[in-house]
Chain A
Amino acid sequence: MAGYIATNNLGASFGGVQAIENITFEIPANKVTAIIGPSGCGKSTFLRCLTRMHELVPGARISGEVVWDGKNIYASEMDATEVRRGIGMVFQKPNPFPLMSVADNVSAGLRLAAGRMSKARIAEIVERSLKLAALWDEVRNKLHKPGGSLSGGQQQRLCIARALAVQPDVILMDEPCSALDPASTQKIEDTIDKLKKSYTFVIVTHNMQQAARVSDFSGFMLSQEMGEPGRMIEYGPTNKIFTTPERKETENYITGRFG
């Protein structure tokens, strides 16, 4: 299935410092998988490795495999832009293109990466993506205003709409709600819930309630000591991770004893 990702012994480092190590993990298709763990355990690095974003950092190294759609995305014949088109990403801080209008923000991926398209087709995809991201009603009259003029929560949903517009199989989200108020968070969680029938989501979050609310599967990451590379300690169905974790570390973290 196109939305299925598996990592095999994945490791990543920045300029000689190992950030994550030895991660073998499966992300089921059309489900929401949450990655939880204390700060600095390499959750974001792991997420960025899944769509070849980690390699953009100077001095970054990656080892192991990420298998998506039956192919290792780090194989030499794979094109990074194609991987990123199929595995989209939403970042912690909303990052709409400030000079582009709301509509142009949504269609940016189509216009700049895909082939030529008719204006009507683009308008149609813009509308559909904004509806999917639950933003259409709020911006239908401001499609020509700059993306930076929206509120923080709207900007983040605009970024989700922008990611949806290129029609990826997987959407990675790096703490998408950490800069947002509860109402906006609620809207984004509803969006994820609605979209998971047709998309695979991987969401990194600090918020344990959020992980429990939105995810079907959870992975707990931890770096044993400061400066040690992060590892995947335990993963499984969210229910099980949150009620009867097998590892002591997971239980300690879930119950709030550290982290």
Chain B
Amino acid sequence: MALRQTEMRPMGKPIGRKEDPRLIRGKGRYVDDVMLPNMLYLCIVRSPYAHARIRSIDTSAALAAPGVKLVLTGEDLASMNLAWMPTLAGDQQMVMATGKVLFQYQEVAAVVAETRAQAEDAAQLIEVDYEPLPVVVDPFKALAPDAPVLREDKEEKSNHIFHWEAGDREETETLFRDAPVIVSQKVRFPRVHPSPLEPCGCVADYDPAKSKLTLYVTSQAPHVHRTVLAMVSGLPEHQIQVISPDVGGGFGNKVPVYPGYVIAVAASLKLGTPVKWIETRTENVASSHFARDYHMTAEIAAREDGKVLALRVKTIADHGAFDAAADPSKFPAGLFSIVSGSYDFKAAFVEVDGVYTNKAPGGVAYRCSFRVTEASYLIERVMDVLAQRLGMDPAELRLRNFIRKDQFPYKSPTGWVYDSGDYEKTLKLALDRIGYEELRKEQAEKRARGELMGIGISTFTEVVGAGPAHLFDIVGIKMFDSAQIRFHPTGKVIARLGVRHQGQGHETTFAQIIAEELGLSADDVLIEEGDTDTAPYGLGTYASRSTPTAGGAAALCARRIREKARKIAAHLLEVSEDDVTWDGIAFSVKGLPGRSVSMKDVAFAAYTNIPEGLEPGLEATYYYNPPNLTFPHGAYIAVVDIDKGTGAVKVRRFLAVDDCGNVINPMIVDGQVHGGLTEGFAIAFMQDIPYDADGNCLAPNWMDYLVPTSADTPHWETDRTVTPSPHHPIGAKGVGESPNVGSPAAFVNAVVDALSPFGVEHIDMPIFPWKVWSILREHGISE
């Protein structure tokens, strides 16, 4: 249960959320709630083909339809130099197709009309003459020498996008050569989609009288969106205001700039009126950027006692028609080389090859710090394969191989420096809380009776909080983040940050950080994000980076304020600055605890009673460049029962023990964990976006791309250990993604564990009932 926002020393307390009063009243302002005078509506015509040349587009009937103000095609955009736009991964993407289409549901034409219905009516009247071309769906076939080359705009006439590697190939090969035990497993992480409940959308409002573009957009990274728009459109950046209003969930879906935004901007520039584009769910699932789609093979070299030696990973990354990952520039496979996970490997070597196919572009980091989800799933899955091969308990194997507490800061074989962790403590707490020994006994009894029960463990390590700036940038912009704090004369605070929350509760947690640093209650601090005209520049909210970066900025910015406040306090207390101490609530004179002034007094004085020589006012800005990433970790345990007759899996229990360093608001952390587990559960058991041989998307909406309801979702149990980050200003690490990163392996490991008596070592996600049934049938098991 929530505590009041008026609590003093709010850090670590379950303060009730400040954003909720408007949201529970239906008074949030999401992008579709933005209704401007004379606003027009945009509807996009999309390709029914996955690969086809466009012979002609006839827009005449659409132009003549009632209410239609404008029709745009790729050729029209080309004349405005807007036919292509950069992706955040350094590739380029067609805004609307010119020449040919490369995936089903690709943007081909657009209609702007007075009402949504008229725009949809007219869109139906646009006739496109397509000449179908051979379709490439399989990323392995895309690499074959005779495969049709999809991207005619690229210099390299190949579907191969990039080769990327990390680690030490030679040392890894040597260890493999002499290893007594080698296990190898192919693992696919399916193509999934973040699918926030609110689809993407925008209102582009170009005011010719002011030469100013205001773009209301569902954005997790409004400042980056502004810069990209300036680069694409040629509009001066100070004449563009991006406003990301209340965002109805993001999960990585709302990091990229989508063609619909650019088309809406182009239409508003042409018409001089506001143009709204709101994506349908089908457009969201079938065309906005997907996540994952990694075809991975991992090999572990180990000793017979289970001690791991080396790890070798090869991956084919299917990016679809455009490399539209939102990865930092120097990391085409994101942070995938974290794949050695929580274990002390002597060496590792990781290779990833990116491939184009005739599918929707991607892949974004869906509740994931740039491919750490794929990495974590792979290592946690393959560790279980090793345990099974050696006949060891998976918990025992993990305990034997963990990076020990005294090894931190730990340099991984692929070059990461893990800040802190206590993996043994976390796993032991999880084993104890779930009653691991008893569960194993129960499982043995059930097996004797022919019943199928499984226990799955995942002890993942996350890597979040990009920067530091020297390593990470997006389209050249370094990955720092920022905070700006301003005291008003009466002691109330407004703080603005460069990130943009979408449900994470920043209006509360950042208020808590600042209030804690300044001796206030969260109630005294108003947090604002998402308006590029007022907030300091920042890279946005994704990859669990808000607390590690903007959270750090908020704390350090508050401390910068406190430094000036100390001078004012000394003036008010009529002592020298050296004689002033801060006790967390007030400044007082050393040795005279009775003589004190609060921050409220200081703020008032900053505007009314300034000491000689000091600048009036009390505000500060801080751009925080973190010295390293943070490395949250956790131990998750799933318990499943399998119905032998139907193959259906029931998750009986799931315990998540997370360690995300110091906790700002435990209620919010638990909420983040519940949500991420639910998304991980869906990925493990129900989500995939398959394509047929012609490139037709077979799960383009929520009838077939399955999102779990309350009736499907298990009851989650949570617990925590706390290992603070040694380098973060408040010792926090970030948590939003841990449950999505760590849980898929726990689910799959549990199902495989249940089926392990039949020699089953792996099942690819999503684990639909038919897959389990097929395995049971192969082994002659039925009801």
Partners in one complex: no
